[in-house]
Amino acid sequence: MNTHGIKQVGYLDIAGGGQIRVDGNYAYVGHMEFPHGTSIVDVSDPKKPRIVAEIGMPTNTHSHKVRVQDGLMVVNHERLGGEQSADFSGGLGFYDVSDPNNPKHIGNWNTPGKGVHRFDFDGKYVYFSTSIEGYIGNIMLILDVSDPLNATEVGRWWIPGQWEAGGEEYLWEGQVGPRCHHPLRMGDRLYVSYWHHGFFILDISDISKPKHISGFATSPAFPHPEHTALPIPFPVQGRNVMILADEDVAKLRPHAPALAWVVDITIEQQPLPIATIQPEGQGKEIAPPMTGCHQPSEVVTGTEIPFAWFAQGLQIFDIADPYAPKHVAWFQPDPAPGIDRLSTNDVTIDDRGLIYIIDRIRGMHIVERV
């Protein structure tokens, strides 16, 4: 174990996960690999987390993302490669978790193709990346789930050229195709990461007609896809900023590990990178995929931003000076038995200030800043 400024509080030996979020005294884990789907973990005693409910997934599918609000749990359904049951459709699943110990399936929203990858959820609307009939690559779609039995599309947005059925000319021959990764909402804006095509800021003051404001891409100059476009919900040194996290996968060419960026969006029509975020010395040598950045915590409680940094575990950077982020803490536990190296996939923060990380392969840690 290698740690600085962080103390371990609890550990749970659990199947690897793609996302972890905490609501009240329960952590919700979306798993990477079937037959595991979603686990609900009682964390009222963070020293002794315990699984209280599990939802499975069929062969060659997964449900690796999960969000909960007001007793409604939303999970993604996504197809993987290989033979699958004819009864399975990609999309979203809805569960009543008013009693987290006894989740009850309400219904699904289904889509053709691979399904839903990742999403944001505010209690009424789900904002997500999905395959949809007539489009090339995933686009952004908004669903009203105030009545989960009758979920209704209220808006969609895509990069011009994706709408094949509408006769749009495909613009990326010989290049990586477009793919929405996921949106995040703040106020009447959506901040949409779009893989190797960068990120976009959308005006959703009319939620039925999302409007493009601006965008920016680090690829192909930096050969990593954009994973998360995270707006900071308060000014930093009088500026509006966001964290743009490149993911250390799907590299266009061999390269040093992916990093993250501080982007000034004070003038949102002109997003401007003003700093990079990475551990000291990381950017000097070529490394295998899943060594560097994956994503920041989407729950922001201050200027210290926790990151899931794949093989380098949990890394925390302070952006109090957005032009010169400081590397202030890290936590690199030993890999689970039989695993060669860490693959820290997601990180979140609860109302007590405790930090949770889930490993892509195995294990969940609960830690705190010291």
Per residue in 163-221, pLDDT (tens digit) is 999 999 999 999 999 999 999 999 999 999 999 999 999 999 999 999 999 999 999 99
Q: What is the CATH number of the domain that holds 32?
A: 2.130.10.10
What tokens appear for 142 in the block?
Answer: 């908004």
Is the predicted pLDDT of residue 281 greater than 90, yes or no?
Answer: no
Alpha-carbon distances of 129 from 36, 73, 301, rounded to whole Å: 22, 17, 26
Are 309 and 293 contacting, i.e. CB atoms less than 8 angstroms apart?
yes
CA 86 to chain CA centroid, Å, is: 28
* Band of pLDDT at residue 24, cut at 50, 70 and 90: very high
Residues 40, 299, 1, 64: what is their CA dihedral angle, to the nearest 10 degrees?
40
The Cα–Cα gap between 208 and 204 comes to: 8
How many separate domains does the chain show? Answer: 1
pLDDT average, residue stretch 2-23:
98
Nearest Cα to 182, choosing from 161, 200, 169? 200
Phi, psi (5° rounding) for residue 278? -170, 150
**For residues 217 and 273, is the Cβ–Cβ distance under 8 A?**
no
State the average pLDDT for the chain: 97
Query: C-alpha angle 270/275/277, rounded to 5°?
Result: 130
Read off the pLDDT of residues 310-355 as tens digits, 9 standing for 90 and up.
999 999 999 999 999 999 999 999 999 999 999 999 999 999 999 9
Distance separating alpha carbons of residues 92 and 108, to the nearest angstrom: 6
CA distance 63 to 32: 7
Closest by Cα among 339, 244, 248, 340 to 291: 248
Which burial class, exposed, middle or buried, applies to 318 when counting CB atoms under 10 A from its CB (0-12, 13-18, 19+)?
A: middle
Confidence of residue 295 (pLDDT cuts 50, 70, 90): very high
Look at residue 184 in the predicted model and tell me its pLDDT.
98
**What is the C-alpha end-to-end distance of the chain, expressed in Å?**
16
Helix intervals (H) in the chain: none
DSSP letter string, 118-164: EEEE-SSEEEEEE--TTBSS-EEEEEE-SSGGG-EEEEEE--TT-BT
pLDDT of residue 86: 84
Q: How many residues does the chain have?
A: 370
How many Cα atoms are found within 13 Å in the side-chain-facing hemisphere of 181?
24
Q: Model confidence over 31-90: pLDDT tens digits?
A: 999 999 999 999 999 999 999 999 999 999 999 999 999 999 999 999 998 888 888 999
Contact 14, 29 (CB under 8 A): yes
Tokens of 309: 């940094």
| Predicted pLDDT at 85 | 86
Q: What is the pLDDT of residue 67?
A: 98
* Contacting residues for 8 by C-beta, under 8 A, at least 6 apart: 1, 331, 333, 365, 366, 367
Token reading at 196: 């190797």
Domain that holds residue 183: 2-369
State the pLDDT confidence band at 284, using cuts at 50, 70 and 90.
confident
> pTM of the full predicted structure?
0.97
Please say whether the dihedral angle defined by the alpha carbons of residues 271, 187, 191 and 240, taken in this order, is positive or negative: positive
From the number of C-beta atoms within 10 Å of its C-beta (0-12, 13-18, 19+), residue 293 rates as buried
- Structure token pair of residue 256: 């040093």
* Residue range 223-252: mean pLDDT, rounded: 98
**Is cis: bond before 220, omega within 30 of 0?**
yes
Q: Which amino acid is at 113?
A: G
